[in-house]
Amino acid sequence: MNKEKGMNRRSFIKRLVAAVGGLMLFAGLDAFFIERRLLRRCDIAVPLLDMPSAFDGFRIAHFSDVHIGHGLTANDLRLLTERINEAKPDMIVFTGDLVDDGMEELAETTEMLALLQAPYGKYAVLGNHDVRGKADPDQIIEAYRNVGFIPLVNQRVTVRHKNAEASFTLAGLDDNWRRPDWEKTFGERQEDGLVIALIHEPDLADQAKEYGVSLQLSGHSHGGQVRLPLVGGLLYPPCGRKYPDGLQKVEDSGMLVHTSRGIGTTILPIRFLCPPEWYILTLRKK
């Protein structure tokens, strides 16, 4: 009888180990081969107090963190560009990390980005991978200009409504690992009203709130890239841990920050319970 119980126990343990091993194998195959290719669109309404009424319903396509060269090729962006154009956004913004650690496919990548169209323009900022290693930030900036993107590197522009006397400020900060100039970008503004900031690292929102920013759009965190039930993301980088995912309220302020989960990957070419996402943000008068 005891011998039979021992055999049953060993049999149960073997089956348990086989089941866990099978789940781990399935999760690994899903993370490497399937999920990182499952491009998802997310629609988010963004309520803003100081937004001009004329811009109520204004739609911004937000994507980030392509990381070309890390398991993603320029041709892989074709589906993304098609879906963004099909959505017909008013404006398109990219919040950094076009490359991962090299410039090999820069020309082909920006050729894909040239396909994007929006009546109020398309804008980009640099990310930390764009300014380190083998990346050449000046070459990336020039490539943006060549395909119709306006690179905002410690700069701001006034976005004017085409059918009404209304406007808002769109500002972009140089990456935190390069030469961010907060005063040049946000300081000494004579105009009041809505300020939308493109800043790669989301946790810099705690500094942006001091400059009257109403909405910050960021990337960098990849949503953790690998997420576990009840645990959340596992791979949050520095400056991407406090506001790591989605639309969040900035501490001790009325400011909002939206953090993209990104399109590509870094460190490991995997995603688990965290598919690549792009967003349509619809601005609403609060």
- Rounded distance between C-alpha atoms, residue 83 and residue 76, angstroms: 13
What pLDDT does 29 receive?
38
Q: At what angle do helices 78-87 and 106-113 cross, to 10 degrees?
A: 20
Maximum Cα interatomic distance, the chain, rounded to a whole number of Å? 88
Please count the other Cβ atoms lying within 10 Å of the Cβ belonging to residue 262: 27
The whole-number pLDDT of residue 14 equals 45
Question: What pLDDT shows up at residue 30?
Answer: 39
∠ Cα 196 280 140 (to 5°):
65
- Tokens representing 155? 């700069």
Q: With b meaning 16 or more CB within 10 Å and e meaning fewer, what string describes 214-232? A: bbbbbbbbbbbbbbeeeee
Residues of the chain below pLDDT 50: 7, 12-33
pLDDT of residue 1: 52
pLDDT for 26 equals 36
pLDDT given for residue 71 in this prediction: 84
User: Of 244, 206, 249, 250, whose CA–CA distance to 225 is shortest?
Assistant: 244
DSSP characters for 39-80?
Answer: -EEEEEEEEETT--GGGTT-EEEEE----BTSS--GGGGHHH
Token code pair at residue 209 = 């709130």
pTM value? 0.89
Q: How far is CA 140 from the centre of its chain?
A: 18
Q: How far apart are the C-alpha atoms of 87 and 121, rounded to whole Å? A: 15
